[in-house]
Structure 1
């Protein structure tokens, strides 16, 4: 080959790959994007249903604005709990005790002795109780080798019982104006509860996607043995994941106490199921190793929107729960038959058609 020919070859522009533009969209890297777009589509559909069923309400722009913030406030406490749950599930575990942690942290932080230390003492107590119970869960699972389902189920019963014992089965009123004001305070027209949710979600997103802790969480959930061989202390990391879930439960306890101006042993009932459902809807695999904070947040907002939609249409809670159950089943089925499989099938069919 002559120098001129070689130069011509080097200068010849590469032929564009007709499938290059869609390869990323069809790959695993875009699956979370596709799922989140699908969740946004579900939200739009719910809004359309609301407009059709209650045009009198949706015709009032002021009501629409207030209703959006009402939905976000409704989603705030569950959203904080779901962030912690998402980390646990991605790490290959499950936490059935988060609702009980919220109740125990709320009751402990509203005792007369704790309230005597002011708002700082109440917040410190709630967070400490949440992290402490989470660490106990992590110790039982990591070093006691208990199955997460059993360990956290036992903690659910024990924490509820301890909360009932501390409160003497009575509702404890919060007399602290600072704590109570969290639910009623607005900044630039946005409720403080929404700001707290945003801070927890952003922190969770950064922790999962931009730190070594997040990468280790995915590794531990995807393949614990491979993670161990790679030098990750799987037991310690698992314990920290449950402590993180407990911390989120402590934050949620303060938020829920602020909303009700009180705490009791029965508060946050079934929050663990709502958090698990929201995480699943958002694309978190129950088997671990995959999940997104944004997807979980969208799952929480979808459930809050459904609750709001049923409320403004005076529909029963039973019907609402049936709809939620159906959504969970569909979400799990989608996880079983992933979008990737469908796109690969279509891709193969296109190739066969082109060849023939």
Structure 2
């Protein structure tokens, strides 16, 4: 049984990665419905939380049906991280996660996210500031190192555990790689095999099929797998992996009905949570993924990403159901 603090996550949990502009409550709800064992919020700026920035505050919204759920924060200032930890604790997530992995320039240049990989002493001070100011279990998500010449994940893992981190998710790329090339899980396996490491180690990067999940579980010995981009527009991946683990067989692929239902639910929940206008606009980035591989779909995709009327969008979904009921997905 894998545990973070007192939270039981099952024998081999599948975690939804924290993704900016993706891992919001409507998307998390879909992933939970389809088998995700642990959910993480989008990352939240510690500075934004302290400034009372509306967007940052909104990201603190969590719901009981999501549990266990973690809220992720990032920042490069100890005082701001300490204050953020106290703010996060007020909404009572199950876990508080620290982002030391985001490779995006605007985050890194502030000395946050993956930028902290260049200064492990600072990383430890930031982590300690969070741990000292919350009763929540603290976890961390990070990368292998800044670049190929400075892979320092072994030292990072030991030192994070020493100050009280209770689980570590490792993305198998360096900051310099961004999302290019292949994730190298051999470094993740080495951390897991380190006899000093007792906290759960979750692997992240490139798992996009049940076969790959099984291969990586067996080959690298991690305690669980964190899935990010492969779940965008395809929340079914969690149950597909679980079914494959148990039976060695594939679940039936989602039908057009399944895809329309998921997209419709996602739209409905987005508009309920964000308000109609914002919910409609922010859903547009998801449609291509929900309907990927349908031939001759361009006309409907155009309608989905340009229409501003909720009732008309639901009508488009009805048309898609009627016109693509025999569709096969490439």
TM-score, normalised with respect to structure 1: 0.21
Higher strand share: 2
TM-score, normalised with respect to structure 2: 0.23
Report which structure shows greater RCO (CA 8 Å, sep ≥6). 1
